[in-house]
Chain A
Amino acid sequence: MLLKKLSEAHGVSGDEGEVREILKEELSGYGELRTDTLGNLYVRKGAGRKPRVMLSAHMDEVGLIVVGFEKSGLLRVHKVGGIDDRVLVSKPVRVGKNRVPGVIGAKPVHLQKPDERKKAIQIDNLFVDLGVRNQDEAEKLVKLGDYVSFTANARAVGDNCLTGKAFDNRAGCAILAEVLKEDYALELTGVFTVQEEIGLRGAGVAAYTVHPDLALVIETTSASDVPGTREAGHVTKLGAGPALTLMDASFITPEKMLRLLVQTAEKHSIPYQFRRLTAAQTDAGKISQAHEGIMTAVVAVPCRYIHSPVSLLNLTDWQNTLRLVKSVLQSIVEGGLPECGSY
């Protein structure tokens, strides 16, 4: 299963090579493949056709980076991307090119002062333990600047759900890969972007390069349908279908793009929901601002416990997101681009 393989690959922002190689192998023969200087992977199909559509999914995941060595051989680390400090402690990780195994450790609970126990352990008080005796041994295994990523096997749980790491956004990558295996009567460029989690860095360059007529971002978004939040505050709900973005901190979905997605979903009886959070950012922020402005929208797979090694998604949601993306391409083939910017 491609999603499982992608999820288990290591690819913290700036170090997406392993993920890219899996995708290159998977998609070889399905289009023209090219990698740019930042590491974005482009797969183009139907060059020269009109309109020109870009689909994107970011390859990177959140993680840590080694910033120092203790004499004891423990590694000091910083976060790469938005990780909740509370998620970090006691997790198995892999470090550096050789995927050296380690764990994230902290001061034991019985040595913590009473007020320390009440608070989440901050990143400054966490370290990565490779099980070595001293700094020299640690430095033989990893280097300063090496990336640290969660390690977890993606596995099936419950009723058609999958749990694992980096579903944000390997779930999107897997959808994009499946979409690219079929042909459509338009020019399609699938872009697997880099460094989304640290500021949408790959996407702007990709959109500038491709300069499409329309772009669709395939993402993974929080499902917060858990105790302690009320319905209006659920960002999305697991099992309720792909989530459509109304707006986020970087982007407002044009009304005509929203209608295109909604009408397509309804026509094909694909369940959908609206993302009820207007914060956070996606690649759409940069893509929509490229060149003279690009019509853009975002569809996302709902996922609980995002940015943790126990993310949990519903495979029917994933399938429905894939169906929606394919159907949107079909809608564009049949009905053309949504008329935009006309008053």
Chain B
Amino acid sequence: MRELLKKLSETHGPSGREQQIARLITGEIRDYVDEVFTDTLGNLYAVKRGNGTKVMVAAHMDEIGIIVTFIEEKGFLRFSNIGGVSPYILLGQKVVFANGTVATVGMEKLEDIKKLAFDKMYLDIGAGSREEAAANVRIGDIATYYRELTFSGSRAIGKAMDNRAGCAVLVNAIRELEKTDNEIYAVFTIQEEVGLRGSRTSSYRLNPELGLAVDVTPAGDTPEPPVAMDVYLGRGPAIKVKDASVICHPRLKELLLELTEQEGIPCQLEVLQAGGTDAGAIHLSREGIPSAVISIPCRYVHTPGEMVDITDMQNAVRLLKSFLSHPLEMQKIFPCFLT
């Protein structure tokens, strides 16, 4: 898990430019599934064939980033954000482009730090002129935080735990899953951070009977946390009740809880006020798809120092395997609306 998570975390894959991370995941999962393919927008599908219930499990593979919008005469790059990047967090960081070019983030003189905004900031790749800069970075290129993943006990600290932690859980669950009747589509989705865009089109394409998203959720177990939440690192995967994008189907939520009890998997419940995840788009696809979410608690979400607990991820893998190998008989799970 650790080695895989490190590779996933350190690989480039901002929203809209998921090629590198998709290639990595393809290599990691190809030998364990019946088929791997991609679609027009770049979603990556790994399929385990079966005759049973058709389940889509989504983990978004994109991460937040910044996009170059202009190159100054002296070679400094102006940029805009992709997804929830905070100018305060970005200040003083290194960022990296798909071709490996590294930039440092600078800021103009400010009278008040409260006035910090992206238009007062720039990227410096050490180029002396517009031409020199343009030889390495084009307008429209997208950078991500540059950060090595490190471990501290059972904790991992690095960038893009949102949602490479989810990708690692999904990859491992698929690898370890024994033969089941269910037809399983593991989908590594694009552009979740800018509006659940990949899960919207991929769930439309697959039209599954059940939907499940694996994503991180903010933990509220730090001093004066920015998000007041009863979710703790190390207490197991969180089964989502709701967030701003979805109310998880109560029967699926109950099923996940029953499975944790049966298997003795530690878990917690999650109610998130703001924010959303791929299940938000999946459950509204076509005629409606019952959907649930398994969340991995994560501190410092959308910073280059996101922290997750490896044991939570391992327990998430156990829960996901248990769910996917469960006879997901639709009439038993949903007696109410299928009769």
Interface residues of A (CB under 8 A from B): 231-233, 246-247, 250, 252-255, 258, 274, 276-278, 288-289, 291-295, 340-343
Given A232-B72, A343-B22; A293-B41 close (CB under 8 Å):
yes
B70→A232 contact, CB < 8 A = yes
Chain A residues whose CB sits within 8 angstroms of the CB of B67 once the complex forms: 246-247, 278
Which one of A231, A252, A289, A291 lies within 8 Å of B16 (CB-CB)?
A252
B39→A341 contact, CB < 8 A = yes
A255, B19: Cα distance in complex, Å: 10
Q: List 8 A-B contacts (CB under 8 A).
A: A232-B72, A247-B67, A252-B16, A254-B42, A288-B41, A291-B204, A293-B41, A293-B205
A299 to chain B, nearest CB (A): 14
B140→A294 contact, CB < 8 A = no
B80→A291 contact, CB < 8 A = no
Interchain residue pairs A-B with the least CB separation, the first 3:
A252-B16, A293-B201, A293-B41
Within 8 A of A (CB), among B63-81: 67, 69-70, 72, 78, 80-81
Q: Does B119 contact A (CB under 8 A)?
A: yes
Nearest opposing residue in chain B for A230, CB measure: B119
B139→A341 contact, CB < 8 A = no
Which one of A231, A246, A277, A294 lies within 8 Å of B40 (CB-CB)?
A294
Q: Does B53 contact A (CB under 8 A)?
A: no
B201→A291 contact, CB < 8 A = yes
B200→A232 contact, CB < 8 A = no
Chain B residues whose CB sits within 8 angstroms of the CB of A246 once the complex forms: 67, 69, 139-140
From A231, A232, A233, A252, name the one whose CB has the most chain B CB atoms within 10 angstroms: A252
A295, B40: Cα distance in complex, Å: 7
Nearest opposing residue in chain B for A252, CB measure: B16
B201→A255 contact, CB < 8 A = no
Chain A residues whose CB sits within 8 angstroms of the CB of B260 once the complex forms: none
A231, B78: Cα distance in complex, Å: 10
From B23, B40, B139, B204, name the one whose CB has the most chain A CB atoms within 10 angstroms: B40
Nearest opposing residue in chain A for B81, CB measure: A278
Which one of A254, A258, A276, A292 lies within 8 Å of B78 (CB-CB)?
A276
B70→A231 contact, CB < 8 A = yes
A200 to chain B, nearest CB (A): 13
Q: Does B217 contact A (CB under 8 A)?
A: no
A26, B197: Cα distance in complex, Å: 37
Chain A residues whose CB sits within 8 angstroms of the CB of B197 once the complex forms: 288-289
A277, B70: Cα distance in complex, Å: 10
Nearest opposing residue in chain B for A245, CB measure: B140
Chain A residues whose CB sits within 8 angstroms of the CB of B38 once the complex forms: 341-343
A246, B22: Cα distance in complex, Å: 21
B41→A276 contact, CB < 8 A = no
A292→B205 contact, CB < 8 A = yes
Chain A residues whose CB sits within 8 angstroms of the CB of B80 once the complex forms: 247, 277-278
B107 to chain A, nearest CB (A): 14
Nearest opposing residue in chain B for A340, CB measure: B40
A272, B304: Cα distance in complex, Å: 35
Q: What class of interface size applies to chain B in its complex with A?
A: 35 or more
Chain B residues whose CB sits within 8 angstroms of the CB of A252 once the complex forms: 15-16, 82, 191, 194
B72→A255 contact, CB < 8 A = no
B140→A289 contact, CB < 8 A = no
A38, B201: Cα distance in complex, Å: 23
A292→B201 contact, CB < 8 A = yes
Chain A residues whose CB sits within 8 angstroms of the CB of B139 once the complex forms: 246, 274
B78→A293 contact, CB < 8 A = no
A292, B67: Cα distance in complex, Å: 26
Q: B133-167 vs A: 1/0 string, CB under 8 Å?
A: 00000011000000000000000000000000000
B27 to chain A, nearest CB (A): 10
B201→A289 contact, CB < 8 A = yes
Chain A residues whose CB sits within 8 angstroms of the CB of B26 once the complex forms: 343
Which one of A232, A274, A292 lies within 8 Å of B204 (CB-CB)?
A292
Given A252-B16, A295-B40; A278-B69 close (CB under 8 Å):
yes
Within 8 A of A (CB), among B179-234: 191, 194-195, 197-198, 200-202, 204-205
A133, B39: Cα distance in complex, Å: 63
A232, B69: Cα distance in complex, Å: 8
Chain A residues whose CB sits within 8 angstroms of the CB of B200 once the complex forms: 289
Nearest opposing residue in chain B for A258, CB measure: B140
Q: A247-B67, A293-B43, A295-B41 are in contact. List 20 more A-B contacts (CB 8 A).
A: A232-B69, A232-B70, A232-B119, A233-B119, A252-B191, A253-B140, A254-B16, A254-B42, A255-B17, A255-B140, A274-B69, A276-B69, A277-B69, A277-B80, A288-B197, A292-B39, A292-B204, A340-B42, A342-B38, A343-B19
B220 to chain A, nearest CB (A): 29
B16→A293 contact, CB < 8 A = no
Chain A residues whose CB sits within 8 angstroms of the CB of B191 once the complex forms: 252
A247 to chain B, nearest CB (A): 6
A332, B310: Cα distance in complex, Å: 48
Q: B17-43 vs A: 1/0 string, CB under 8 Å?
A: 101001100100000000000111111
A121 to chain B, nearest CB (A): 28
Chain B residues whose CB sits within 8 angstroms of the CB of A340 once the complex forms: 40-42
Given A276-B70, A289-B200; A343-B23 close (CB under 8 Å):
yes
B69→A293 contact, CB < 8 A = no
B199 to chain A, nearest CB (A): 11
A284 to chain B, nearest CB (A): 12
Chain B residues whose CB sits within 8 angstroms of the CB of A276 once the complex forms: 69-70, 78
Given A233-B119, A255-B17, A292-B204; A341-B82 close (CB under 8 Å):
no
B65 to chain A, nearest CB (A): 10
From B41, B42, B202, name the one whose CB has the most chain A CB atoms within 10 angstroms: B41
